[in-house]
Amino acid sequence: MSKSQQLFEQALARIPGGVNSPVRAFRAVGGDPVFIERGEGSQIISAEGRSYIDYVMSWGPLILGHAPPEAIEEITRVARGGTSFGACTEAEVRLAERIAEAFPSIERVRLTSSGTEATMSALRVARAATGRDKILKFDGCYHGHADSLLVKAGSGVATLGLPDSPGVPRALAELTITIPFNDLAALEQAFEAHRDELAAVIVEPVVGNMGCVPPRPGFLQALRRLTAAHGTILIFDEVITGFRIARGGAQELYGIKPDLTTLGKIIGGGLPVGAYGGKAEVMDLVAPAGPVYQAGTLSGNPLAVAAGLKTLEIVSRPGFYEHLEGISAQLGTGLVRTAHDAGVPLTLNRVGSMLTAFFASGPVEDYTAARRADTAKFARFFRALLDRGIYWPPSQFECAMLSAAHSYEDVECTVAAASEALRILQET
């Protein structure tokens, strides 16, 4: 029995399902999870001492790779001065300024400790600002595990094939309207049916949580037009895409200005963080500026803020996103070519350094199409990659993420492993 297997057995005795977040359990791909001892650059090293090229990257925060020396130095320096004060610090102000510089739609921003808190709080503000209760989300989008948002959700909910979660009061779930992503007609119908009842539309502008699904041309523009016309607040959930697909996220890439934006992951450089922000007139409803209550013991935590500030400094250096685009394009092209050579139907969706190889033959533009992918084939692909030292996300419905620490050699190695894995799929 390997060390990871031993640890998982012990974990199962004390932690539900052996994990602190569901997708980590490898349920969708079979086998026991690998326990990680440490990370370095593009690699993680398991409890057994085996190295893997990592494409999970802690599900997005690690755009600089594991243990980036400059950030670790800064976190260590700050930690020596204390880990939390529950009081104001200069660094929080600087992080808010850096976020507002990159996201012109954000005039004021509040830090939280997770993406879940950010989206939950953004909804609360939107409801307060509009005096309306209903919200609209898209099938397969995941916005954290707050009650209102666990309806037709992606990510682990999709991975485990769960229906909407028990424990969410029906009365609350009924306030969440869901429609397919990228479906303009459904969007127009929803506004027709609920015209002056929708407080907010929340969307992952590039979906990461049903696998990577980019918006069809014009879809986000239509969303902006309809929300503005109906006094509905448009929330871009950029927890994954913020500072990843461009410094200014999807709103920079597609040229759309949402009313509110949620962030997380990269802005905390791998420490717990989230943020929500937007127009001053809306954000000034948040306590103590206004009456909408939201708080957090560890919000704006000094270590998370230090890691975030250093990360945002590094991603702002010239050429950062060009390098990321170069290696990501190489990986995307390599996977498409090897799948073609092996005769395996594969649809590759990629926006910048987030990508998904769907085991499907047609385009994947919504959750229905994503669910048509051959998850059994994906599971075998995943295991074959793992055997070859590649740690791919353990679900068909998640994105692979690259970091600045990934090299062209890493990608070459990955494509070679994928080529073998796909050939094995065809033979067995």
Report the residue number, 4 or 119, with the smaller CB distance to ligand PMP: 119
410 labelled catalytic: no
Cα separation, 406 vs 39, in Å, equals 13
Report the residue number, 330 or 356, with the smaller CB distance to ligand PMP: 356
Are the C-beta atoms of residues 122 and 202 closer than 8 Å to each other?
Answer: yes
202: exposed, middle or buried (Cβ count in 10 Å: 0-12, 13-18, 19+): buried
Catalytic hit among 54, 139, 237, 259: 237
Catalytic hit among 134, 137, 152, 265: 265
Minimum CB–partner distance for residue 291 and ligand PMP (Å): 25
Exposure b/e, 258-283, CB count within 10 A at least 16 = b:
bbbbbbbbbbbbbbbbbbbbbbeebb
Report the residue number, 398 or 410, with the smaller CB distance to ligand PMP: 398
Minimum CB–partner distance for residue 26 and ligand PMP (Å): 17
Minimum CB–partner distance for residue 207 and ligand PMP (Å): 8
237 labelled catalytic: yes
Instruction: Report which secondary-structure segment, H or E, holds 338.
Output: helix 320-342
Cα separation, 360 vs 347, in Å, equals 6
Minimum CB–partner distance for residue 241 and ligand PMP (Å): 8
133 labelled catalytic: no
Report the residue number, 142 or 243, with the smaller CB distance to ligand PMP: 142
Minimum CB–partner distance for residue 412 and ligand PMP (Å): 29
Are the C-beta atoms of residues 123 and 199 closer than 8 Å to each other?
Answer: yes
Report the residue number, 54 or 410, with the smaller CB distance to ligand PMP: 54
Cα separation, 296 vs 207, in Å, equals 28
- For the chain, the first-to-last Cα distance in angstroms comes to 27
Report the residue number, 106 or 417, with the smaller CB distance to ligand PMP: 106
Which residues here bind ligand PMP, judged by CB under 6 A?
59, 114-116, 119, 142-144, 155, 204, 208-209, 237, 239-240, 264, 274
Catalytic hit among 52, 55, 142, 276: 142
Are the C-beta atoms of residues 176 and 364 closer than 8 Å to each other?
Answer: no
Phi, psi (deg, nearest 5) at residue 123: -65, -40
Which residue in the shown chain puts its C-beta closest to ligand PMP?
Answer: 115
Minimum CB–partner distance for residue 245 and ligand PMP (Å): 12
The DSSP annotation for 110-144 comes to EEESSHHHHHHHHHHHHHHHHT--EEEEETT----
Cα separation, 238 vs 223, in Å, equals 16
Residues designated catalytic: 142, 237, 265
